Amino acid sequence: MPGTPPTRYVFLGPEGTFAEQALRTIPAAERGQRTPARSVGEALDAVRSGDADAALVPLENSIGGGVGVTLDEMVAGSPLVITREVVLPVEFVLAARAGVSLADIRSVAAHPQASTQCRGWLRDNLPDAVVVDVLSNGAAARSAATGEHDAAICAAIGAAQQRLTVLAEKIADHGDAVTRFVLVSRPGTPPPPTGDDRTSLAVYIAHDRVGVLLAVLMELAVRGVNLTRIESRPTGEALGRYAFFLDCTGHVADDRMGEALRGLRRVSAEVRFLGSYPRHRWTGSEGDGPVPAPPGQSDVDYADAAAWLARIREG
């Protein structure tokens, strides 16, 4: 039913990872049904097939999954759109069963990327422990709970679900790392503009020349649309065909974004609209509030210019 918020959620599993933690920051998801998926592709397919209403998957700088996969899966099948983003600080904990102290720890279960991010802490605090690779942060917590390993590097949610004791918090070497997750649904009317929105796009071009990329960026620049992320990916589909994944500031309902999108549609081989949605604000974050439209780029300016042109055309 249109307007009904999603109630069946899928997330990149297993349980007890940052993705679940991110999903549970969304009130409707906290009340709804939440199912882990084995992969990003499986999560998105569940939405495509109607088995789920929305999927929460990592998009950027992710632990245990990756940007590339999500982007590729987003555009590989029938259209999907992002309706929300959640930015979560990546705060690893070292957790163990009750009664285990640091001095007892001989083996630590961790996802390879998690142990990579905590290398400094491990070297300083557990120099003699063996780090054992496991498939996910959730699996690490489970293996500590079962006693397979003495401790786990995992998310707080994973430690809690497995009733582990947190021996150390924020053990990542770079304290300010974050992961950006997105909530993905089947296409529908985008959420209304809030004044601080993001729009995600995939733009395909036939050649990998810098001139072509400049042309794409100029379509944004002349409408004052700012770019917060860009990533080129070979498409694999056709010889020399490239895709750019772009995150822009603004909403598809804004005049300037609308004109920029129409321009991209005209100059590129294909544009795929991946959603307009509120930008996530988190405390201690980028520090920049909503960015107002540059001079001459507000909806009022567009309306004024359109009225002026109409007068000229009529003489």
> Which of the residues 179 through 218 are near its own copies (CB under 8 A)?
187-190, 208-211, 213-215, 217-218
Q: Across the beta sheet with 8-12, what order do the strands follow?
A: 33-37, 8-12, 54-60, 178-185, 81-89
Measured CA to CA, the distance from residue 48 to residue 191 in angstroms comes to 19
**1 touches its own copies (CB under 8 A):** no
Contacting range for its own copies; rule: CB under 8 A; set: 15-23, 26-34, 144-152, 258-266 = 258-266
| Complex with its own copies: residue 166 or 309, whichever CB lies closer | 309
| Complex with its own copies: residue 25 or 231, whichever CB lies closer | 231
Contacting range for its own copies; rule: CB under 8 A; set: 61-69, 93-101, 144-152, 162-170 = 61-69
Among 91, 148, 196, 259, contact with its own copies (rule: CB under 8 A):
259
| DSSP annotation of 104 | G
Distance of alpha carbon 80 from the chain centroid: 14
Residues of this chain, 117-176, that bind its own copies according to CB under 8 A: 119, 133-135, 174, 176
The binding track of 79-118 with respect to its own copies, each residue x by CB under 8 A or -, is ---------------------------------xx-xx--
Measured CA to CA, the distance from residue 57 to residue 43 in angstroms comes to 8
Task: Using DSSP, state whether 1 is helix, strand or coil.
Answer: coil
Residues of this chain, 63-82, that bind its own copies according to CB under 8 A: 66-69
Kindly state the smallest distance separating residue 99's Cβ from its own copies, in Å. 29
How many CB atoms neighbour CB 202 within 10 A? 21
Among 35, 107, 233, 299, contact with its own copies (rule: CB under 8 A):
233
- Sign of the Cα torsion 26, 30, 35, 37 reads positive
Looking only at the bridges linking them, the beta strands covering 270-278 and 93-96 are unpaired
Asked if residues 276 and 190 have their Cβ atoms less than 8 Å apart, the reply is yes
Among 263, 277, 279, 280, contact with its own copies (rule: CB under 8 A):
263
Looking only at the bridges linking them, the beta strands covering 178-185 and 81-89 are antiparallel
Contacting range for its own copies; rule: CB under 8 A; set: 26-34, 100-108, 140-148, 222-230 = 222-230
